[in-house]
Each structure stands twice: as structure tokens, then as C-alpha cells.
Structure 1
């Protein structure tokens, strides 16, 4: 059976040490809504993000989970192991007074914790300050490890702090646990083995890769239809629009609570415990501590946060929440950012669970990039600390409290602070920040030009601004006015970049990108910059690609990781990337595990493709869609080419520009290359899928290009697809009919034209290209040569597009039925008599009852007749009577029209291929013909 993979890492060195007490507590385990309970010990492991139980416990509970495979990392080594994934379990205190739902639980042969780490009474007597602790003991093994993904089990209800380097005790919902050393620090372990447990399970890495790949491959899905806001999104917008106000140069917005009277429990102790953990990290990593302190001091200095006044410290109205925080590093920048953990749960509640997320107000990345390529002069900037520029209404600030040490000195007592701004980490902050930015454009629409307002509303992707304009003068004016307008909303634009030295000269050095601040623009070469993840060579004004591949074991997971790392939202490299996607599909079809070394027959093409990745640095494409000195655009039109093969299908789109001097230029806009579905399809159907993709891409581009466009033209080398599109009379099977409906909805038949395969650039998208072929291909980036010519010189349209043969497998056959003079028996007379289905059912049911009674009487068994439920004296019809009547009608009618098929199926034979129902894969069920269809191939139990 196919095995799904999860990724688990567990570092564990077994040993016989009893030097430390671990958080082990007696519990009850049971199946949700079940009555059978198992008494066992649970190890509460806050260092684990997964929950595990033993296979023995699974057997005792008499449950069986889904087979899966997890990747165990043990002291840096990795090995896949089989496991069961269990759901629907509950853990409770040993007295059964409280139960907690468990998330997915993964089985292992044993839990890597010894009962020697269980504190005994003698150990407890050594520490008098723990004498009030009540520890319960049972005769059982440690059968379950509960990770941090069960926060209710971890929440500290009461803490007895450590004294003289001894253990400390924590009361949880499951009972008291004791942690820490049991002897002095100088004692040694005779065995030399130390027991260390640190388990991790992370399905997010794989999940994120798959989601990222899907969103990259299928962006047109967001344009399929107009999406209405949800009820919660409408509530968010109502709160934002009714509450927003501009004060002291910044927009003020409330925390958008689901419930306006929301309250939260006091979680100070939990936040303080997190700070103790952070202090340990600081002591181990001084560089991390210094960067963290610098960030926090910057937050306080700029007024993003403030110390809570003494008289407000003891608030108890449920409007206080302490947010733990931690530091993360940017992937491309060696810079630490402090993230506030608004999802952290205490007693089952968190700040994020109380907040509305809000609608996605971020501009589509694809649109921002496309418009960035419009004109010759490009500018790029970044909003400084975007989220922190939007202030929180004062009465909500205490929901954003946090703990910190004065000057970051962990030797000083913790102090209480609160944020005055919306946080990086709150689920609502992205929508809040985007709302405030767009509000800046709305509120200043009469003070600034439409170009400035359009830039504010449509040229930002989160905090990054990308815009292109026609001239240096226009760019200088735009940068000046844009900076002023954004400042009015509290947003400061910095890290300015431009391909024009003249534009950069007008921007103060301290507002330029870091690498451009000290640059002598007259003689020094500008560096590479990143434009929404794409490398931009400012000097040459080209977009480039560079992929760094780490030396990793060749598995499905690593291949997916490498393929996903090629960031190419516009699809310039899609024919090359398709080759790797085909390798992934082969592995998927072969049902190889995510962490299984790929077989040799796949290894060779993978190594060949991998060897070519370094050559991607040679690939360059002009950032601007127009060549230098190209005149005023008179007309612009999109041309979409589509194609499919037995290897893949795809599209490529070009923009044909004509200036006032009748100069013509064709430029690449967007490419898509996809593998074919795992379930094999005919090439005509794949060609139709490619054509459907082309019209969806057209709708997407017409919305995002923000240009005046003539009618689009669609090109395919499939005359079958063209005949389907031009057909007016034939009826198609469902697959074809649905896609033709989409094509007709988004285009007109006259927009579709024929191109021979040799001139179709989408052929590259359907088959893939090696890197050298891609680098040397002019057809892929520039389109076929005839696009630059007059329409009269385009390939001729076939003359027989309206002549679609009735023998085409996708055309529904028209069945002519001749009336047969069937035997006019009782059933026929009853069926012909009634026009109402319900009345017919009842009549047939009564008739069947009478028939049954007469049959019984012929057997002269009066006792059976008197006792039979079919006797005439019985009052009313039962549901069973009506059900049998319905089946009887169906059997009778099927016998009239499908007698040969029924005869063959009753004999266990296959029906003939010329039967009208052969494609439906019919089966017999209770003597009734049923459609077999796809269910026979489904993975059903």
C-alpha cells in the first residue's frame, strides 16, 4: 500500500543515568467517547513538537491507525521508520477528572525514556521545599510521550521554583511533575552515558514546498471567478472602516476581535517561563543576545512599545495578555527579527484565536512583477517596519504586553512592556497594514497625481514597491511625491533602487539601498538587487537566475526542495524545470517514499538535469518589455500558444506591441509548463486542457497588465481542438463539454487560429528543454517569426473546422430507438397507466403484494399465508414494499432495452465493445445494471 511520509527528528542517546528527574506523570488514555481506559505514565516533553505512544499501548486500546513513514533523526543521522498514525485519543488525569483531546499520535516500539528518570519518595525527601508536592505512583510503564503540540498538558498551573540547584516542580492539568537534577552537579555518571531526549516532527516543510509549488504552477485559479468576502472578512472590513483614524501622522486601528467583548486569562507565568528559556539561549549565544537586545531597544526607542505604568500593572479585567517572543533570521539577510508569538496558547486560548484574520488585501505578486516590466525606467523601494507604522487603539494595547529585561540584561528583573503598534506575528496584521496603506492612497487622492495613488494601491507587494515609468523626469517626480504621500500615512520609504543614476542622485543616500549608499554612480558598477525574489542586474537592466544546490542525498523530498527553490513566477525557465517535474512524477507514480534514495533508472536523468542547474546563471532576459528607443505604443495585443504531448502540456504568452512609427516588438510575458495527470489521458484531451489553460491565463493577464489591449489571439497546432471550439451542433462527453464551455465563456471561436508544430513555441512547454536548448532558443523568448508580420502573412486557418466527424470518440452518439410491439402484460399496462412516479410505485407495490399472496396460496400453506407480512389484510405499505417496487420497475425496464448485456453479465462475461453502455463499465447489483465507472479504480476499503 502507498505510504505517506512525515518528517521526524529525534535526538536520543540511551543510558542508565538517574541523575535527572523528567516530567513524568501517571495518566489515563482512552479512545474518544470510549469507556475503556489504560493507566500508564506519560512523559511531558516540551522539546518535542510531536506526540508518540508505544505500539503496545495501541494494541491495548485496540485501535489501528493509518500506516505512515517517519524520518527519524538520531544524533544527526537520518533513517526512515514505519509507524502508525492514530487519531481520536484522549489523555486524562489519573483520577479521570479531566480529559484532553490529543492530536495525531505516532507509534514507536518504545518511548526513549527510562523509569529511572521518575522521581521517587526518597529523592523527594532530599529537597524539603518540595515536601508539599503530591506525587501519585502506579504500576505501569512509560507508554506515551506528549509534545508541545498539546499545550493544555504543558500549561503550568503552579510552580515551585528550584533552590540550591535542585529540581523544580510544576502542577499541570494532569498532575504534578518534577524536573531537574537530583544530585549535586559534581556527581558523575558511572556509565558515561547521558540520556537526552529531543523529538521533532515537522510535516510543514514538505507541506509548504507542495503548497508553494502548487501556487506557483496554478496562479490562474485565483482568477477563475469573482470571490466574495466571507462573513468574517466583511466583519473585519466593517471594523476597520468604521474605526480607522489618522492621528499624529499614523493610522490607528483596533485589534479586530471576533467578539467585541473578548477576554483572555492572565498568562504571565507562561510568558515568564518562556523568558527563562530565552535567557538560557542568550547565555549560550552572546551574538544572538546582542542582536536581540539591539532590536528590542530600537522598538522601545522608536515608540513602538512602552513600559506599562506602575498603576496599570495589576489589571484584572481580562484585557491583559502577555505575548512570548523569539528571534528569527531572514533567509537572504543576516539580520535578526523578533517575532511575537501571538499563537501561543494558554488554557486553550491565544490572542490569534480571538482575532479576525481579515481578507487578503495584498496585491497579486504576478501583477506587480508584470507592471514592473512595462517601461524603461524602474524604481524599487521598501516600507520601513511596515506593520509597526500602524498604531493600535490605546484600549487594546494591554492585549499586547510582553516581558523584557532593562537593556537586555538577563541578570536584572523582568519588566512589563506593551506594544503600541500592530505586531509581526498577529494573524490580523497583514490585512491591517495593507488596509492602512491603501487608505493612505484613498485619503490623498486629491493631493497627488493618479500615478502616485495608483502606485500606492497597486504597485506594492506587502512592503516592497516596484514601479516602472517612461522617463527619468517622470521617475524623479514620482519618487518625490510617493515618498511624501506615504509619509502622510506614517510609512517611510527607504532602500531605494533604480536603473537610472540620475534618479538615484535625487534620493538622499540614507534612503538608498544599503549597497548603493556609498556607491559612486559615475564610475562604480551597481550590484545585483532582488526584485520580489528575482535577481535584477541594475547595470544591464536584465533579470537573472542563480540557484545554489546543496549536496544532498537524492530523494523525492530533496528533488522537490531543489525544484521549488528555482523562483521563477513568470515562467521564463519553465521548459527546463519541466524536466525535473517529470522526474518527480515518475517517482510519485512509482510510489517511492519521500526519503527513499531514488532508483538508478531515475538517477541518471536527475544527475544530468542537476548538472545543468549551474548554467542558469547564463540565462538573462530584459526587464523591460520594450526595446530601447521604442516609440509611443499605439496598439498592444496578447498572443497565447498552447500545446500538449504525452510528456506534458503548457502555454506561453507574448505581448505584441506596435508603436506610432509602426515598429513591431514581440516580448515574452508568461510561460506555463505542467506534467500530465497521473491518470493517462488522450493527447486530444491534453491539448484541450492546454487550450483551457490559455484562456484562463489570458483573463489573468488582461486583469494584471493594466494596459489597453486589443482582442487576444489563441494558437494551437491541434485541428481537433479547433474543431471542438468551432462546433455548433455536436454534443460532447463531460470532460470535453466542460472545457469547451470555459473556452467559449472566455473567448470567441474566431480568436482561435492554427499554427504548425514547428512554429509553436508551446511545444517547448509540453516537452521540456535542456539548458543549452533554452539558452539558444529565440522562439521561446520571442515567439514565432510570423508574429511580427501583418495578419495576412499568418498561417492559414484550415477550411474544414466545422466538419467534426460523428465517429470522434468525444462526440456523444445519437441513439435512435424504434418502437417495439412488446407483450402487453400487466406490468406494461401499469407503467403506461400512471404518469406520477409516486402513484406508480404504490400501484406496483400493491400488485407485488397480491402476486406474493397468490403464490403462497398455490402452495396451500394456509398457516404461512396467515402469518405472512404480505397478507391482504395488512394495512398500508412499508418502505421495504416501496423499495422492492422501485427495483422491480428498474429490472423490468432494463430487461426491455439491455437484454443481451444482462444475459452476458449474469453468465459472468464482459459485454461487447459495440454496446452503447460499454464505456460505462456496467456491473450487476441485485439484478440491476449499475455504472462501474471510476469507483472500480478507487482506493476504497
Structure 2
């Protein structure tokens, strides 16, 4: 039997004199490998709100100050998912230097570390609260206090800046799990030191109200206004991108500065791998799906086992990983590499440039998808993994895995050779790679195929529409050939045209794509960028599954946000739900308090109406099938406002050569009136502004020549 070395984790601690309970952040407890008993804890707030939360009860924790070796044993400690505190207000040596009477202790306060508040010590730990020394100033000035955990400053942090709140007594402490003797598997025997940090942001009522007063932004992106980081990203990729002999496009990892020298975080990766192992052993299906994914990734060459000669190379970085299932794709697992995992105050994502916004507008892609009679949709297979990483950067993408998925064997060291799902730079790199591929294809392929790549993909989903089956067949064939030049595979094709689908290999079509006969089969539904598209009837529909949610502000928010409607087809109805939520925020109803009696009937009525959305159908194509040649396009924007809200709707009016007229709703917007009391004329003007911005966006996205526009508003100028 051998004793596991004590684990230590650096965190900030708050001494809370108003609570008799000590809490530790779950991540800090995990990093200590602290085993606790599962319990339920009843928490009471100052507003007399009670909430029962599941947590762990841990005993045997000790703490010591950052510059001290004296250890304090904590009372029974409970885990929390987050500890709300503003890390920026933690006192530092600079805080002490700002006050003449505190300059003497400046060198006794450790500089700010790369960790967050991970411990809340209650007044039942009297030794941690006991003041050993105090340095006072004049009235209303902060004072310093020394406890066995070190020095801290109580009061505002600077005489020149009003922080708006106080932090209380805070210390940089190291928590230690005192462990019993036990048999260890083969693992490093050194003492473990690493920093646990979590990003905390509490959602408040103003955040909710701000979100309610906005929706899919209609502002036109300023494409030519790039930041210096964006320009650096583009420069690095332009210089480093190349077409490999095997057809794949290779790009470097776009680091903010030169290739960084990162600390060896292998011990952190081992710790996360042990957590993954426990989950794999508990869930056989999860294990099989995970193992299959990894085996396929290695077999395709997306990852490789590192040769022994390369194991001691430097710099390196190990990335933890975990598997997630897509709610719309049951049974399909995706392995996410956690490039945000922190060690000693840093992560890989901290050093990567994200690049400019190169993704096409989701609303724009959907609007163009509705232009013509023949609709086509497809998908890029494993988009991120099709773009390779430069060889000298691949050791920043190391990870641990068991060879052949054998959990009884020692984990081996692998490295990814492709851009990762989880790296901050991957979306920008993938979009840049696609546009690079399109630029290379110009002149060798038709302009329609090149534009399809440049304009009609939203991440890895391609949507387009053409006027005839012949154009559709040509576009599909050329697009597949074009993508093949970069070793990219287009698959999961679906179209409302049987003729187009019949000429696409079955293995490249989406499941059920050839079963479009409504007389024999159920209507074939597909998700077009999150919007329900009934392929057989060629219209957009709403399939809303009303899940049972608590009658509280939390439940209302979850239900209202569950309706995805980027084109605003049901915006007037959604506005009513937003209005109820806004009213709850105004009345300061807590997250889990029941709906007020005067709002309950309105909410129940809205829920009944939510189920009726299934009856709403909007034709995908702007034009009916029998419509003749169009000679004129007009956009008509209608805007209006009331005390409850304001909005606009845009219609496309087309006139054929024979004089036939047809109108189609392009999109709509509805927003709750601002919380601040606003006059009706000002709201009318706000609605008109939204209409003008929508016009600017549609002018760019619809790509219609000679488009005439008209604006209609209920505002009367006197």
C-alpha cells in the first residue's frame, strides 16, 4: 500500500462572515480528486427564496496561505457549480500602494494569480477569520488585516476609482486534500500543482430584457473594418496556407504571437482522462461510440500516435477531450477537444487568433434558398477535419487515449493532424480554407459553382436554389468535383426535385431523400439551418414540441427561446411570449418563483397557441410553380409600433410579363418596446429604422437586379 501524494490547487478564497457554511468550486474539488458524499442542500437567500441543490459533502480539506506553510483544517465543505464574485476587485500589491498607510504591506500581498474564486469560507472556521494584525487608516479608508492565511485589504481598492462594491476579506490560498493510504495505478508520483479557473457571469434581468429587445441582427456587417488581430490572422493564413500533394489544404495554427512556449500540462490531461475513464466504464454505449469515433479518426490519418523519439519535444500542449451527442442526431457522438482547458493560468485558446467573421449570414443564406423553384441542400463531411495543421504545430494538439480503446492498458500519446472542433481558430481557418478553394477554382469552374461555395454555405451546410432541373444537376456535379480538388466531400444531398436526386449516387444523398411520394410515405422533413423544411410539399413548417417546464421565469425563458424563427414568420406570436417575460423582469420575479396570478392566464393561453404553430406553412419559394417570366421585382417594407412593441415585415412583390402579380413574405421582425418609457412617435421611428436596416441587408443578400423598394409606415408627419 502506498499513500497518494497530497494534491494542491491554487484558488482565491473569500471569508464570508454572514454564512456558517464553507463552499468549494466543483472544478477545484475535482482537481483535488476530493471524494465526497452526494447530498442535497437547501439554500436560502436574503429574499427568503429557498432552493434545493444537489452537491457533494467533503471532509478533510486543508488550506494554507500563498506565502505560508501553516495549514488550517476546513469544516465540512460543500461543492458549488459557481461562486459569484468579481475577481477584478481582489486586492493586489498595487491596491496597497494606492494608500499611503498601506504601502508597508504591499510586498506582503502576492501578485494576482491566474485563478478565480474557488473557496468560500464560512464563520464556522474561526481560525481562518481570527485577525492576527490590523493596519488602520483614517475614517472611511480601507484597512488591512492579517490572518493565518495572509494579508488582505477590506474596503474599496483604489482612492481614485469607485469600484461600486466591496469584496470583503479575500486571500490567495492553496487547498489540499488529505487522502488516506490507497493503492495507486501507474501514474506520476510528483506533487501536483496547477491552477483551476472558471469564467463566471450571472445572467441578470437587464441581460434578458436587452435580448428581448433584439433578435437576428439586421445591421449590415462592415466587411472592410478589420481589427489588427483580424489582419494578423489573415496575414498568417495567407502566408502559411498551401495545397498538399494529397489534395488537402494545410494551414498553420494562427498564434497571436510567435509559437508560444507553454507549460507541460500532461498531469492535467491525465486527471481529465481518469474522469473520462470512469464515465466510459459506467456507460457501455458511450464507450463503444467513443471508441469507434477514435478508431475512425486514427484510421483516416486525422490523428497519429507519437513516435517515442518525439515524446520529449518542446513546446507541447495536451488537450482533454469528451464526447457529446447531438439532440437532433441520436446515436451520433462528436468528440470535443477542450482547447479552453486551463493549466497554470493559460490555455491553448488564449494564444490563438479567432480571425474576422467570414461566415455567411444565416438569414442571407435562407433568403437566397427561397429565390428559385428547384431547391438543393447538402453538407460537408467532417468539415474541420478536412483542413490539415502544419506539421510543426501539431504537437500543440496532443491528447491521451488508449491504444485500440483498451482501458486496461496504459494511455498512449497521440496528436491531431487536423484543425479541431473546440479550437477558437478552427471556424475562421475552415471558412478561410473554403474561400481559398473557391478562389483557386475561379476560371476552371462555372461562376455559379464558385458563388455556391462563397455565398451559400453557412459553416458546413450548403443551401441553394436554381430555376431549372438542368441547372441543378450541373451545379451538383460541378460542386462535387470542385470540392474534391480540396479532398472535401459533399454528401447528404436533398432536393425537392426527383430528377436532380436521381442523378446523385444514393450513398451521397440524405436518408429518405428518394422517398418523396406523399401518397405512400409520411411528408419528408429536413432541417434547413434549424428551420423545418417539408421537402415533399416544399414549404417551411413549425414542429414545436412543448416540453413541460416549470411555471417560473426560468421556465418561461426556456420555452420562449425554444422557438427558432430566424426569418420572423411567427414574430407577432413570439412577441406575446417575450412581453410576458419582460413583465416578469420588470416586476423582479425571481428565477424560480411561480408566475404571478395576473400573468398566469396569459401564459397558459400563449402555451395553447404554441401548439397551433404546427398548422402554419410558408412556401419556401417566393414564386408559385406556374408563375411566368418575372419582369419586375419590388420590396415593400411595412413598419408599425404600439406601446407593447414595434416591428416590420418585408414582402417581395413580383410582376410577370403577362401582368400577373404575386406577393410573398420575405421576413418579419417584432420587438418588445424598450423598458424605458418611450413615446409612440419615437417607437414608430424605431420601427422605421429597423425597416431601413432590413432593407440594406436584403438588398445585399437577395442579389436581385433592378430591385425597387417602397417603405410604408403608420407614422404621420405633422
Query: Take 2:187 and 2:242, find their aligned partners in 1: how far apart are those partners?
Result: 52
Q: CA offsets, 1:478-524, max 9 Å, x none?
A: 11111111111221111111111111111111111123378889954
Within-5 A mapping of 1:30-45: 45=26
Shift of 1:205: 8.2
Q: Write the deviation string for residues 635-688 of structure 1: whole angstroms up to 9, x where unpaired.
A: 111111111112211111111111222211111011111111112222111111
Tell me how far apart the structure 1 counterparts of residues 373 and 47 of structure 2 sit (CA, whole Å). 54
Distance in 1 (alpha carbons) for counterparts of 2:172 and 2:310: 29
Query: Which of the numbers 562, 585, 591 marks the counterpart of 1:588?
Result: 585
d(CA) in 2 for partners of 1:567, 1:354: 34
1:331 Cα offset (Å): 2.2
Structure 2 unaligned runs (5+)? 16-20, 33-44, 57-79, 94-107, 128-146, 151-170
Q: Give the match for residue 672 of structure 1.
A: 669
In structure 2, do the counterparts of structure 1 residues 83 and 498 end up closer, same or farther at CA, with 3 Å as the change threshold?
Answer: closer
Q: Distance in 1 between matches of 2:667 and 2:468?
A: 25
Give the secondary structure class of the aligned counterpart of 2:113: strand
- Shift in Å at residue 42 of structure 1? 8.6
Q: 2:354 matched to which residue of 1?
A: 357
Residue 602 (1) aligns with residue 583 (2): no
Given that 1:160 and 1:169 are in contact with CA atoms closer than 8 Å, whether structure 2 keeps it comes out as no
Contact 2:23 2:119 in 1 (8 A): no
Q: 2:491 aligns with which of 486, 491, 494?
A: 494
2:566 to 548, 566, 569: 569
1:800-811 paired onto structure 2 within 5 Å: 804=718
| Aligned match of 1:546 | 543
Residue 183 of structure 2 is aligned to residue 163 of structure 1: yes
Q: Do the aligned residues in 1 keep the contact of 2:646 with 2:672 (CA within 8 Å)?
A: yes
- The verdict on how the C-alpha distance between 1:518 and 1:302 changes in structure 2, with shifts beyond 3 A counting, is farther
Find the aligned partners of 1:49 and 1:164 in 2 and give their Cα distance.
Answer: 17
Aligned length in residues: 617
Asked if structure 1 preserves the Cα contact closer than 8 Å seen for 2:13 and 2:121, the reply is no
1:366 CA displacement: 0.4
Measured in 1, the distance between the counterparts of 2:392 and 2:201 equals 39
Counterparts in 2 of 1:693 and 1:512: CA distance versus 1, 3 Å:
same
Deviation by residue 1:914-933 (Cα, 9 ceiling, x = unmatched)? xxxxxxxxxxxxxxxxxxxx
What does residue 255 of structure 1 align with?
A: 253
C-alpha distance 672-506 of structure 1, shift in aligned 2 (>3 A) = same
Partner SS, residue 323 of structure 1: coil
Contact 1:371–1:705 (CA under 8 A) maintained in structure 2: yes
* Correspondence for 1:527 among 524, 528, 547: 524
2:320 to 307, 318, 324: 324
Contact kept? 1:386, 1:463, Cα under 8 Å: yes
C-alpha offsets along residues 74-104 of structure 1, whole Å, 9 cap, x if unaligned? Answer: 2499xx9999745423799xx9777636536
Kindly tell me: are residues 207 and 485 of structure 1, through their superposed partners in 2, closer, same or farther at Cα, counting changes over 3 Å? farther
TM-score when scaled to structure 2?
0.77
Alignment RMSD (CA, Å): 4.2
Asked if 1 retains the 8 angstrom alpha-carbon contact of 2:22 and 2:119, the reply is no
Equivalence map 1:321-720=2 (5 Å): 321-334=317-330, 335-516=332-513, 524-525=521-522, 527-720=524-717
SS in 2 for 1:582: helix
Higher relative contact order (CA 8 A, sep 6+): 2
For 2:543 and 2:502, the matched residues in 1 are separated by: 29
Q: Note closer, same or farther for the CA distance 1:595–1:109 as it changes in structure 2 (3 Å cut).
A: farther
Q: Which residue of 2 aligns with 1:273?
A: 271
CA contact (8 A) 2:23 2:121 kept: no
Provide the C-alpha distance between the structure 1 equivalents of 2:342 and 2:510, rounded to a whole number of angstroms. 39
Give distance in 2, aligned partners of 1:407 and 1:500.
44
Map of 1:164-243 to 2, 5 A cutoff?
171-173=191-193, 213=211, 217-223=215-221, 228-243=225-240
**Higher strand proportion, which one?**
2
Find the counterpart in structure 1 of residue 90 from structure 2. 89
Residue 712 to residue 151, structure 1, CA distance change in 2 (3 Å): farther
Partner of 1:100, secondary structure, is coil
Q: Is the 8 A contact 1:209 1:561 kept in 2?
A: no
Aligned counterpart in structure 2 of residue 287 of structure 1, from 285, 288, 296: 285
More helix by share: 1
TM-score normalised by the chain length of structure 1? 0.60
Alignment partner of 1:46: what SS?
helix
Q: CA deviation at 1:600?
A: 0.4
Q: Which of 93, 101, 113 is equivalent to 1:100?
A: 113
C-alpha deviations, 1:176-235, integer Å up to 9, x for none? xxxxxxxxxxxxxxxxxxxxxxxx997588899959956961512344x56600000000
Corresponding residue SS for 1:656 = strand
- Ranges in structure 1 where 5+ consecutive residues have no aligned partner: 1-19, 32-39, 52-65, 116-136, 141-149, 176-199, 721-803, 805-941
CA change 1:162–1:214 in 2 (3 A) is: farther
